[in-house]
Amino acid sequence: MLRDTLKKMNTELKDVVKYTLDINGVTHKMNNYIGTRIKIQWSGVVICQCGKKADKFYRSGYCYKCYWESPLASQSIFKPELCTAHLGIEERDLEWEKEFQIAPHYVYLANSSGIKVGITRGSQGVVRWMDQGASQAILFAEVPNRRFSGDIEVSLKRFVADVTNWRKMLSGTPESVDLLKMKEELTVHVPEELKQYILPNNTVTEIRYPVTQYPKKIKSVKLEKTPIIEGELLGIKGQYLLLDGDRVFNVRSHEGFISNFSQQEILQQGLLF
């Protein structure tokens, strides 16, 4: 069944981000579909990561039980500053939490819709930035556990956003920001005991997306309301498919939707006769 569920697109950092979508046993090279028609047809069934099927999710892509019991949906997932595994304190499942939280984490600054601070685990930095539709990003700090990254994030949140304004992100390329200067300026706000983790590496990653046309008045479409979504693919940014009619479709927020995906060329009117 998992082969037929929507999953976030895989990304590769190239001249422009290269997207692939794995579904129905096929790996679709999405960049090649820009300028053609795509169709996503939802079966009416969702499947939670625990394997349970339902006609809808309870919250955030989880069934009721997982949302309230799974360590994947615990409070500290949404608020890393609440992580306590490094102190040996359990939230929902200490073994799982130790594995997940006590590992190198990175704090970064990214420019997707204006400057924001975020955190990421292991080497996921670039992937995370592409998923968020960031145009520029820089690593800020490397810490030995998730809690410290949450603490740094909290200290910077007073000065920069910690969420992406997705409407703004999808409305075009943001104005370029001097991330190096931002990093320098923000460094003074990091608590003394955490300053040792600030990275000396100041490489700025620039990211471009395959977009031929940005929407003007964004309409977000969802399979729950519209089980068949089809139209011309005009571009891809972050985890969003940009469709004709100013419509945008967030692939990631539909993870677990059992669906059928298809693509066809647009027939030129003249070729029909």
| Cβ proximity to Zn ion, 53 vs 167, nearer residue | 53
**73 is an interface residue for Zn ion by CB under 5 A:** no
CB atoms within 10 A of CB 177: 17
Q: How far is the CB of 62 from Zn ion (least distance, A)?
A: 6
| Cβ proximity to Zn ion, 52 vs 208, nearer residue | 52
Q: Helix, strand, coil % (nearest 5) of the chain?
A: 30, 30, 40
| Cβ proximity to Zn ion, 78 vs 273, nearer residue | 78
| Cβ proximity to Zn ion, 86 vs 92, nearer residue | 92
**63 is an interface residue for Zn ion by CB under 5 A:** yes
Helices 146-157 & 94-101, crossing angle to 10 degrees? 60
Q: How far is the CB of 52 from Zn ion (least distance, A)?
A: 5
Q: How far is the CB of 54 from Zn ion (least distance, A)?
A: 9
| Ramachandran angles phi, psi of 234, nearest 5° | -100, -10
C-alpha distance across the termini of the chain, in Å: 42
Q: How far is the CB of 94 from Zn ion (least distance, A)?
A: 20
The residues in 1-60 that bind Zn ion, with binding defined as CB under 5 A, are 48, 50, 52
Calpha distance 255→82 (Å, rounded): 26
Residue 1 tokens read as 């069944």
Calpha distance 36→210 (Å, rounded): 14
Q: How far is the CB of 244 from Zn ion (least distance, A)?
A: 35
What is 159-191 written as a DSSP string? TSBSS--HHHHTTSPPPP--HHHHHHHHHTTS-
The mark string for 172-191 relative to Zn ion (x by CB under 5 A, - otherwise) is --------------------
| Cβ proximity to Zn ion, 38 vs 47, nearer residue | 47
List of residues contacting Zn ion (CB under 5 A): 48, 50, 52, 63, 66
